[in-house]
Every structure is written in structure tokens, then in C-alpha cells.
Structure 1
Amino acid sequence: MKCHFIFCLHDHQPVGNFDHVLEWGYKDCYHKTLQVLEKYPGFRFAVHHSGPLLEWIESHNPDYIETLKRMVARGQVEIIGGGFYEPIFSIISERDIRGQIGLMQEYCASRFNVRPKGFWTAERVWDPEIPRLVSGFGLDYTILDDNHFRYAGIEEEDLYGYFLTERLDHSLRVFPIDKYLRYSIPFHMPHETIAYFREKTERLGECAFVYGDDGEKFGMWPGTFDWVFGQNWLVNFIEAVLKEDWITMTLPSEYIAARPPRGRVYLTQGSYFELSEWALPSRVAAKMVRIHKEIKDSGREPDFYPFLKGGIWNNFLIKYPESNALNKRTLLLSQEIADLEKDGNTVDEAKRELYMSECNCAYWHGLFGGIYLTNLRHALYVHLLGAEALLARYRGPGKSLIEKDFWNEGDAQLLFRMPDFSAIVVPRRGGCMSEFGVYGEKFNIFDTIPRRYEAYHEDLKNLNEDEPGKNGEAVKSIHDTVTVKEKGLKRYLVYDNSRRYSFKDLLFGSMPDAENLMLRQSPVHDMGNERYEEDRPRGEAGADISLRARAHCFSKSPEIRKSYFFNDHEPEVRVRYAITGGEGLVFGVELNINLLGGHDEDRYYELPGVPREDSYLDAIGFNDACREFRMVDRYSKLVVTLTSTGDPALARYPIFTVSQSDRGFEKNYQGSSLVFLHALRGQTDTFELKVRIE
């Protein structure tokens, strides 16, 4: 009896993660794991580190790189490559895929004296084009979840090896990751894994078992630090495996050299099973979760599993339009960089910034915070705006406009670029502004997302927050965790019916208050999903674009006209309004501004008559008349000044989303909603709202 055990770790931290998180991860996970593994040269393994993590480790703890280099030289470790900044290959350009892979290959060659033969596919998102896209770099294999192979009709007994696939004569070897191992390591006792190997090997003959999953399971996932290190799970596991002479620790490239493939396979686009649930529209995902549970409870999951499949990763671009907007901005920048290079320009710094803005983590959401983490979204805009700022000198002085359906939604968006900032106006979405990004500070102040229903909100609704043993209890697998990080979250399960863009027009039958606005308890006619038409030729009366729409609400049909004026010399936008036929209604202009910190001493309102203790950005407030106020961000050295004519009332409230994380349900501050409220009195009411960034 003989089996091969191919053990692969994937260590990753996203672009923009907090330094203290990286410090904690290094201390309690990455370094700790490597220290243990170094003591057991016979426990051979493959490891992938993403570029953001490698760069942080090299600058903060270079000894780690040297240790890993020694372990590679003595034959214990095989380095796995991939896209340097961990992009999803299916949503970036072919040139960027090749650029990111080349960057990783060069990095590994210079630090570890090897060019990887295998590569990690971010989130194990497979696309049939990948064999062609990665060709020419000496890459021979990747590893994917076994459900990819089950969907292709591969039977369970054939999964213990590797397969050949190809695209247009570019071939690639693909290892299936064993789902049982992914769930059992490091959560089950070592002898259970040994027993699993024994049962399969005795029944099927010589097998290759592949484990490939997050290195963060060894110290960073809840409860794992004490379990893996304090209770010696990792040492016990290694020693249990090495004690069995019929188990051979094998590196992936060695196994390929020694054993033939199990056969040929063509895999459909997809990822691991859980992600296929998360990628579905939330109400459909909730149905899939129920169906999957019914099948599991029936005991027939093995029969149904090959035929139970959800969505593909790209569906996140539909589920979260803000992700799609970011992605399409990177595609535009990628093409601009390629065009400049064709003309003989060297734009390597801008290209590096672009690659960093392609890091996948803030583009989606599943078990971890993802798109709901404002620091991660902000980091992508930092690098996107950084790349755009570097390219500004090639555009020449003055204002430029690109009018195109970047988002692939059927209607054009307008991207205005000034020397110091960029702005996007979306006529199809209420004539709103979706981006206001300043180049100097590299900050998009309109980076907010709405409160959306997620399938797992059903778990929160059904959770008794006071039930002993449910809240805060350490469990061994976060896939089954239902806990809350704070009480009272159900209050925040409020859902918006349009995107959280700015200069969004709202109509009310009477003056609302701030709390009712936050909880969506005030009757409102939201124009955020309405199409606005151009009102007059661009440039007339100095306006960059003028729009109009008619509302039908509260037994009236007011006409809304608004014109955008972008300052050529400083980050400033003015929007001039004219409302006709709305007498007796209240007209609201909603701005959604995210300065990243809701309850932070360095971020606050400067509002006339409002004391400092009530000026946090997560405060709820109402001012009867407010012509001008400021939002201050001392941390980012940013001040946003908002000025209005017409003495509007101001309602302000925080935008909190409720999402799951590895440590339970949490609420996240996504920005502050500021609604300027005008009581309409005349046949035509006019006013102007200005936003300036300093």
C-alpha cells in the first residue's frame, strides 16, 4: 500500500489591508507555521504567497524570505507562482494576466532562485482560456477544487492524481483538491486524516491526495491559533504523517515527472462550491442553500453533488455594480497604458499601480468582508487614481471627456477628467455622480455602496443573540459559524432600492426626519433608477452636461433640471437645479460621502451649532437651515466643503451595511448620507449645491 500526499498552502493578504492585521498574521500564522515546518525536512510541501504579502514580508521581516529560500534549496519546498497581485484572470485583460504572471516569475527567480512550474489561480476561479493565457512562462500545472472535475463527469475514484487539459494546443496539468481534506485540515484530529488516506488507498490502490487551501487556517481563523499551535495540532499532524512509511510527501512537479495523467479533461468556468452559492443573486442563493441542506439531510449529497452548481465568479460584477464599475475603470486604464506603450512611452510605474488595483478581494463577497470592507475598496481606488494621475501628463492640460458604456449596462456613462480629479456622471441612474476622485490625495469620496439583502441575513434574523453557546463561542470551522460581533444588528437590516450615488434626487410629501430616512420609514420617490435625458447642448451657459427628467409622485409631475459644472483648476463640482411644478413637495438632493471612519476622532463634521461630541460622521442629525459646512479628515489631510443656496434643511445619517465575516456578523460604516431638503414653493424653484475638496 502506498499513497502520495501533496500539501499546498496559499498565503494571501489583500492590497490595502491594515498593517496591524499583517503584523498579527505574520506573528501568529505565517512565521509560526514556517518555524514548525522548518524543523521537519521530511514534510515536503508547496506554498504560494501572493505579491502583496510577499512585499510586506520582505520589507518588514526579510529573514522569512531567507528561511524559505533555504527550504527551497534543500528540496523541502516548491514555490507556486500566479498573478502577482492576485487578480481574477477572467475579468482582466490578457496583457495584464501575462504582465502579472511575469512579475511573479521574476520575483521568485530573484528571491528564491527558482521560476515556479505551478501557479495558484486566485480563488481557484477557472476559465477554459487559462492554458493559453499562461503559456510561455514555463508553467506546467495548477490546482483546483475537485468539484470542477465532478462537474466534468470525473468519478470519485479517478480524482486522486492529475489531468491534462488544453486550449488551442496549449496544454496544462490540473490537480484536484480533495474537498474532505479542505474541511478536515486542520479541524479534525490527525488520525482521522490518516484513516481517510488508508481507506481510499486500500480501496483504490495508489493515490495522490492533494490538499490546497488558505494558510490562514493555521493561526488566523477563529480558534485556530490555540488549536494548531497551543494544542500542537500541526506538530502532531506532521509527526503522524511522517510516521506512516506508506505515505510519501511529494511535491507537485515531482509527481508529474514520476506519474502519468489520469486522463484528459475540459473544465467549465467555475470555482469552489461555496463561491458558486455566494455568486448567485442573494434571493436565489438563499434558495440554493435550502436545497443543498435538504439534499445533505437526505443522505444523497454524493449522488447530487456533480449536478448542483451555482453561479460563476463573474456574477459578482452584476451582484455588486460598484465592483463592476471598478473593474471597467481598470480595463480602460489597461488599454490606455497599452496604447502609450505602443507609442514608445515607458509607463511601468502606472502599470504597477494598475496591477495593484486589480487585486480581487474587494471585488466580491463571500465568507470574508470583501467589498463591504471600505479600506480594501479605498485601496483599489488609491492605486487606480494613482495610475490615472501618472498618465495625466500624456493627456495634456484641460478637461477631457470619455462617453462610453464602460459598465456594459446598455447606456453610456460620462467620465470627465480634469487636471486634478475625475468624475463620472450616469444619466441612466438618476443623472447621478458615481465617482469624485482626487488625484493628489488619491481618494474617491463617493465610494459608497448601498444596503443590500444577503442570503445569510436569514441566519441573523433567526439568531437568538442571547442564546448561550451561539454567540462568541469558538468553533473549529468558520463555514458553520453563526455569531454576532455586537448586539442589535437586526435593526440595521434595511435595504436601499437604488445605488448610493451622489446628487441623487428625492421627492417627499412632507419634510422627513433623519432617522426615518435612515430606516426608510419616510414615503419617498427616489429618482436614482430613472433615466435622465440631456436638456441642452453641452457647454451652453458653461455647463459640462445638463439633464432633465419628470417625476410622477404625490399627485404631481414636477420636472427636474440639473446642470453639472466641473472646475478646471481645483477639485470642485457645482450642480444647479431648477424644479418646476413641485409646489408643496419637499425636494431632496442626496450626497453619499465616505471618508472611511464613522466614529473616529480624526474624521468629523464642522457644522454650525453642532457640538464636537455630536459631530462624528456616524452621527444622526437634522439642521433646519444649512448653507455651508465641512467634513474633515485629518488622517488623510482632506477637507470636503459643501455649500448650498436657498437655506435648505440638512438630514444626515450613517450608512451601515450588515455582512458576515470570519468572526461573525458585523456592521460596517460605508459612508454618510447627506440630504439637502428644499421645501418647494414657487412655479420654478432654483438652487445650487457645490462640493469642493481641499
Structure 2
Amino acid sequence: MGSIYVSFIVKSVTVCTENTDVLEKSFQTIYKPVIKYLYSHPSFPLSFAFSGAQIQFFKKRKNELITIIRELVDRKQVEILGGAYNDPLLPLLNSVDRNGQIDILTSEIRQTFGKRPRGMTLFQDCWDSSLVNNIHTCGIEYVILNNSLLPDSKRSFLPIFMSDLGKNVDIFPYYNELQPDSEMLAEEFIYNIEKAVLKVEKKDTHVQLDADRIIAITLTPQQAAKLNECKWFEALGKYIDENKEGRVKLTTLNAFRTSGVKMKISSYVPVGISDEVSAVIQRANNDTRNKFPNTIYDYMFAFPASQKLYNRMMFTSLMVNQYKSDKMRKKTAREKLWQAQNGMSLLSTSSEPLRNSLYRQQAYKYLTEAEKMLRSDGTFKESVTCFDYDNDGIDEYVCRMEQYFAYISLAGGSVPELDVIKDCFNYSDNLKRHFDFDGYEDSYDRGFFVDHLFTDSQLDLYVRGEPAGDGVFSRIQYSQLKYSGQHHEVQLCARAVWKPTGQTVYLRKKYVINSTGMYVQYIIKNESDKPLNAKFAVESNICDISFVTTKKSGFSIETVDNGDVVSLDTEKSTQELNKKGKLTNVQIVRLSDKPNGISFVFEPNEKCSYCHTPIKVNRPGFNQEKIEQVGLTYSSALFWDINIEPGRETEKSINFTIIPVKKIKA
């Protein structure tokens, strides 16, 4: 019978922000003690996966670690695995970005540690069969994947050989069900390994070829540190050295490959993602019986905020890859794009759900900085273009203006994204409330210029921040009436039946886009045979882009009501003021993000009422145990009383302006 080789692989520390505190802590608590052990125990092999950010941190601040790792690599005790530089979700990227991210990390590892990586890991095991071509093209010979992505019949502790369109790659499955813990004895671990292999050998014919088995086991950096701290690695190494006649031996994956592999199993792995993310998808969809493999696309369908970020990511990638004027400018913009492609920004896999919004905003910042770099060559021209921006089969209207990037959606006729160029943030990155976590369920997407038609009682609920009817136009699909890219004008229309009275209402909505904002005009027509008496509200939602629970928000709200300037408390609803008959004669509203120096000004064409509600959004972490606030949305609405006779119409309009202001620390 062949030997059983075990290879331990320590995963990378994934970071999404520029904060190096996490990397410093991981060095002191994880890598320093583990590397110290390896240096003093030459017979114990171990593999490491490092992200690009980790390597850069080590080069700048921890040269002594690099020197020691180079020595361990030279004596073939340690293997450094490759991957993609910024830990992106590779199947989501264009081929040029896939190759670029893999190549740059490969080059960084070769220059830093003196040896080119032969294998690679994937962030959250995000896999697609099309990656075989990219992996092969980049000179990577094998990839490590979770065994749950393989059919049961292929889980036989042998390397997998996969071919796609004439290119091939080896796959080493890792088996985390055999993962040790600090309480487990080394003898128990060896027993479990041998028991699992014997069970497989009884069912297949490969044992007749005396094939050696390979078991890869991945460890998080925290798990590796804990095992080292309790001297588990030392106990395992000692046990194996004392039982040299036993079947179990330690190795690295590349050492196993180069020693002469007798058997590989041909298989085809079409698509998949880690068990951790799959569990999140199933919980989000309330579908635990689905036997089909989950994918990263299923995740984005379940979490629209991630889908919106991905749409922006793909648009920026398109702009960067098509840019031809200045090579250095293109290179800098591409680096920003690759930073934004970090998988943490889309998946937010941290144990603290608070980081969800922060990571997304960091990605939006990088993407806007990439576009800003391309714009600064002096050839930028403002444009409003019509195409399917978010890949939903329906055209959107993309506005690339001097001070902002935005797009107008036919779904609700609203603006789902607004990236301000000056401070590089998306102020429309709003989450929907979920009943299980927030006590309320939002039935529409929160963006800018969301339209509602309410009765008096529905408006009372709305002012309190509670769901109020269906709002009619907030959940309807608008149609294009007119589009003029030359004049930066978009006209939409929608016809709906207002359920409280059964009346048919027709709404024409015109956007005139300019360098500093938008002019939005509404023409509401009563197509019924009786008078229409309702409340017409236009809602705009601005997210607190740098929301944290440890400090006070830097946002402020000022209105001009009956000629008097009124400053509102952003942390409180205006419900009490509205009950007292205040804010009923508003001429202008200004919401300011003082720490980032941006003000949003809404100026109606005629005096109206105004209400403000802070919307707090809660979410759980991936383990579903910790639920806490992850975001804050400032929901503001201008509303009018409308009384329209049959066949008649009325007109309302809002002038929206983005104004840079002096930054003031919160």
C-alpha cells in the first residue's frame, strides 16, 4: 500500500482597507511564532498563501521575516503558493484582469522569496471552469479547491486532472473535515487520516497500483497560530519521526508532484464557491434543500448591494481596458481597479458585519479614483449614454458629469447610484431593511428621486419610517418617452392605478442632467373621472458613507421654512415637527457631509412640506450569531398636497445641486 502524504496550507490574511493594523497584529501573533517554530524544526514542512498586501507589508516593515522565509524556501521546507494579488473573485473578472492579478502576485513572490510559485489558492474557493485557461496561461500548474466542489466519486485523496478547451491544470482538493484542533492528540489525527483513506481504498481500484495518497488541509492563520501555541505541530512532527514505518508523512504539494505521481483522476469541475458562502446564500434564499452548486452569481442575486458594486466594477474595467492615450495613466488607473476588485468588498466575509458597508465604500473609492485618473488627461467630455449598464436586459442612462457619476434606472425611475468625483464615494449605497433584522421590510430600492403617491394615513406611517402602502410609482417600471444624449435629457413615463381609490394616474418625469446636479420635473395627470386628492412625495436617500458606531455622524441638515433657517438633528426623525405643523412651507433643503466637504441641495419650484427619517440597517455576520447595525441612511422627502380634477394635470419640479464645501471634522 502506498504512503499517505499530508500537506498543511496556511491561508492568507485578507485585508480590504489601507489600514495595516491587521497585518501588524497577524505578524506578531501568527507568522512570527510559526516561522520561528519552522526554523528550529527543519523536518516539518508547511505551505503559506500570501496576498499582495501582506507581501508589501513584509517588504516595507518586516524584512527579517522575508530573510527567514527565503531560507526556508531554499531548503524546500516551505512552499509559497500564488493566487491573485488583491484576493479578487476571479470568475467575475475580465480575462485581462484575471491574468494581470495572477501574474503580478507571481512576480512579487518570485522577487521576494526567490522562487516562482507553482500552485495557487482562490479566494473563498470561487471557481469557474473558464479559469483553467487563465491559470495555464499564467504558468500556474495546480490549484487548491475545497473537496465539496467535487463529485463524491472523485474524493479519493488523489490529484485531479482537469482539461478545458485544450488547456489543463491539476487540482488538489483539501479536506477540512479532517482538520485538527488544539484538543486533538497527534495519534488521533493520524488515526482519522488512515481511517478515511482505508474507507476510500476499499471502494476503488487505485489501491492495486499502490498509489500514494495526498491530503491537503487548509488552516486559517488563527488556527495555525493556535496549533503552534499549544505545541500541536511539534507533537505531530515528533510522532511521525518516531513512526517512520507508518504510512503518514508530511510534505508540500509541489514536493509531492515532483516526486512522481502515479495516479491522477480526470474530472470536470464546472463552478462552485466555498461552503461558508454557500450557507449564506441558502439562508438568504430560505432554500436549504437546493442540491445544485451555489455560485458567486447566486450570492449577488441575493445581495443587491454587491451586485451594484460589481456593475460599477465592470464599467470601470471597460473604461480602463479601452483607454489608449497615456500608458502610465492607464497603469495607475488599472492598479486602482485591481484594488477595488478585492473579494472582501463584494462578500464582506469578516466576522463583524459592520465592515460590510465600509468595504463597499472603499471599493467605490478606488473605482472612482481610477475614473478620475482617466478623466484628468484633459480629453474628458460630459456624456449621458443609454445602454444596459447593470446587465438586467433593460437599458439604463449613465451620466458621466464633471462632478459626479450616476445612472438612472427605469425601475422606479430613480437614481440608484451617485458617485461624487471630489471625495470618491457612492452616496446612494443604501441597503434595504429586512424584517428579521430591522422589524420592517422595504419593498423598493432606496435611491435618489424615488416617487410615492400616498393617502393622509399612509403619509403618517411614512413619516414615522414605517412601510406605507405601495407608493405606486416607487415600485413600478417606467418607460422611455424621450432620450437626448446631445442635450443630456431623459424623459420617462409611467401609468398606474392608485389602489386606495382605484384611480388611474399618469406621471411624466423629466431629468435634465448638468455638471453639478440634475433638474427633475414631474407632470402628474389624473386620467380618472373623479378628482384626485393625494400626497405626492419625492424621496432621496443619502447613506452615511463613513458610518461607524463609535463616533457621531458628520452629516447635517438645514432647511429654509417660512423664510427661517432651521437646523435639524440628523439622528432624529422630524415626526414631531411634522405633527406640530412645522416644515410645511419649505423652500430649500441642504444635507451636508461635512467631514468630506460635500453638500446636496434640493430646491423645489414651489413651497412644499419636508420630512426626514434616519433609517438604521442591521445585518448578521457570516456565522449568523452577531447582528448589529451596518449602515445608516438619511431618508429625506419633499411632498405636496395635490388636488387634480379629472383630465387635468399639475407640475412639480426639484433642482438638485452638488456643492463642494469646506471640510469640517466630525
TM-score range, shorter chain: 0.7 to 0.9
Tell me how far 1:44 sits from its aligned partner.
0.9
Select 2:415's aligned residue among 392, 417, 433: 433
**Alpha carbons 1:164, 1:261 under 8 Å: kept:** no
* Greater fraction strand: 2
- In structure 1, the residue corresponding to 2:365 is in which secondary structure? helix
Inter-partner Cα distance in structure 2 for 1:234 and 1:502: 56
CA 1:26/1:588 → structure 2, altered by over 3 Å: closer, same or farther? Answer: farther
Query: Alpha-carbon deviations, 1:425-448, whole Å to 9, x = none?
Result: 112x11110111122211111112
Select 1:667's aligned residue among 603, 619, 628: 628
Inter-partner Cα distance in structure 2 for 1:213 and 1:451: 35
Instruction: Report the structure number with the largest CA radius of gyration.
Output: 2
**Alpha carbons 1:81, 1:118 under 8 Å: kept:** yes
Equivalent positions of 1:24-63 (< 5 A) are: 24-63=25-64
Select 2:609's aligned residue among 612, 623, 648: 648
Inter-partner Cα distance in structure 2 for 1:77 and 1:410: 49
**Alpha carbons 2:456, 2:534 under 8 Å: kept:** yes
Tell me how far 1:401 sits from its aligned partner.
2.5
**Alpha carbons 1:281, 1:319 under 8 Å: kept:** no
1:601 alignment counterpart: 552
2:647 alignment counterpart: none
1:504 alignment counterpart: 450
- In structure 2, the residue corresponding to 1:82 is in which secondary structure? coil
Give the structure-2-normalised TM-score.
0.84
Which AA in structure 2 matches 1:447? D
Query: Alpha-carbon deviations, 1:270-327, whole Å to 9, x = none?
Result: 1334433433583343455xxxxxxxxxxxxxxxxxxx44422222232223323322
Gaps of 5+ in 2: 202-206, 562-566, 645-649, 661-666
CA 1:243/1:688 → structure 2, altered by over 3 Å: closer, same or farther? Answer: farther
- In structure 1, the residue corresponding to 2:626 is in which secondary structure? strand
- In structure 1, the residue corresponding to 2:117 is in which secondary structure? coil
1:377 alignment counterpart: 360
Equivalent positions of 1:200-239 (< 5 A) are: 200=196, 204=201, 206-218=212-224, 228=227, 231-232=230-231, 236=235, 239=238
Query: Alpha-carbon deviations, 1:528-550, whole Å to 9, x = none?
Result: 3322123445379x662122222
Inter-partner Cα distance in structure 2 for 1:241 and 1:629: 73
Tell me how far 1:496 sits from its aligned partner.
1.7
- In structure 1, the residue corresponding to 2:98 is in which secondary structure? helix
CA 1:630/1:57 → structure 2, altered by over 3 Å: closer, same or farther? Answer: farther
- In structure 2, the residue corresponding to 1:566 is in which secondary structure? strand
**Alpha carbons 1:14, 1:52 under 8 Å: kept:** yes
Tell me how far 1:241 sits from its aligned partner.
5.4
1:329 alignment counterpart: 312
Inter-partner Cα distance in structure 1 for 2:613 and 2:54: 39
1:124 alignment counterpart: 125
Tell me how far 1:115 sits from its aligned partner.
1.3
CA 1:502/1:188 → structure 2, altered by over 3 Å: closer, same or farther? Answer: farther
2:371 maps to 1:388: yes
Which AA in structure 2 matches 1:389? K
Select 2:484's aligned residue among 538, 546, 552: 538
Query: Alpha-carbon deviations, 1:313-344, whole Å to 9, x = none?
Result: 22223222332332233323323333224997
Equivalent positions of 1:108-507 (< 5 A) are: 108-151=109-152, 153-154=153-154, 156=155, 159-182=156-179, 184-185=180-181, 188-200=184-196, 204=201, 206-218=212-224, 228=227, 231-232=230-231, 236=235, 239=238, 244-245=243-244, 246=246, 247-258=248-259, 259-280=261-282, 282-288=284-290, 308-341=291-324, 347-364=330-347, 368=351, 373-393=356-376, 396-427=379-410, 429-452=411-434, 492-507=438-453
- In structure 2, the residue corresponding to 1:79 is in which secondary structure? strand
Which AA in structure 1 matches 2:630? Y
Inter-partner Cα distance in structure 2 for 1:586 and 1:257: 75
Equivalent positions of 1:570-649 (< 5 A) are: 570=516, 572-581=517-526, 583-594=532-543, 595-597=545-547, 599=549, 600-607=551-558, 617-622=570-575, 623-624=577-578, 625=583, 626-645=586-605, 646-649=607-610
Query: Alpha-carbon deviations, 1:483-541, whole Å to 9, x = none?
Result: xxxxxxx5x2432222222211122211657876676343342533322123445379x
Inter-partner Cα distance in structure 1 for 2:62 and 2:172: 32
**Bigger shift: residues 139-148 or 66-75:** 66-75
**Alpha carbons 1:518, 1:654 under 8 Å: kept:** no
**Bigger shift: residues 135-144 or 18-27:** 18-27
CA RMSD between the two structures: 3.3
Inter-partner Cα distance in structure 1 for 2:220 and 2:518: 45
Tell me how far 1:578 sits from its aligned partner.
3.1
**Bigger shift: residues 371-380 or 43-52:** 371-380
Inter-partner Cα distance in structure 2 for 1:207 and 1:214: 23
1:480 alignment counterpart: none
CA 1:229/1:549 → structure 2, altered by over 3 Å: closer, same or farther? Answer: same
Tell me how far 1:43 sits from its aligned partner.
1.8
Give the structure-1-normalised TM-score.
0.81
Tell me how far 1:407 sits from its aligned partner.
1.9
Tell me how far 1:129 sits from its aligned partner.
2.0
1:292 alignment counterpart: none
**Alpha carbons 1:534, 1:547 under 8 Å: kept:** yes
**Bigger shift: residues 110-119 or 666-675:** 666-675
**Alpha carbons 1:415, 1:425 under 8 Å: kept:** yes
Tell me how far 1:676 sits from its aligned partner.
1.2
Inter-partner Cα distance in structure 1 for 2:570 and 2:59: 37
**Alpha carbons 1:11, 1:216 under 8 Å: kept:** no
Q: Kindly, what percent of the aligned residue pairs are identical?
A: 17
Tell me how far 1:631 sits from its aligned partner.
3.8
**Alpha carbons 1:190, 1:240 under 8 Å: kept:** yes
Which AA in structure 2 matches 1:40? H
- In structure 1, the residue corresponding to 2:137 is in which secondary structure? coil
Query: Alpha-carbon deviations, 1:171-194, whole Å to 9, x = none?
Result: 211111113124x44574544322
Inter-partner Cα distance in structure 1 for 2:79 and 2:457: 66
Inter-partner Cα distance in structure 2 for 1:54 and 1:514: 56
Gaps of 5+ in 1: 220-226, 289-307, 458-489
**Bigger shift: residues 250-259 or 551-560:** 551-560
CA 1:230/1:84 → structure 2, altered by over 3 Å: closer, same or farther? Answer: closer
**Alpha carbons 1:515, 1:653 under 8 Å: kept:** no
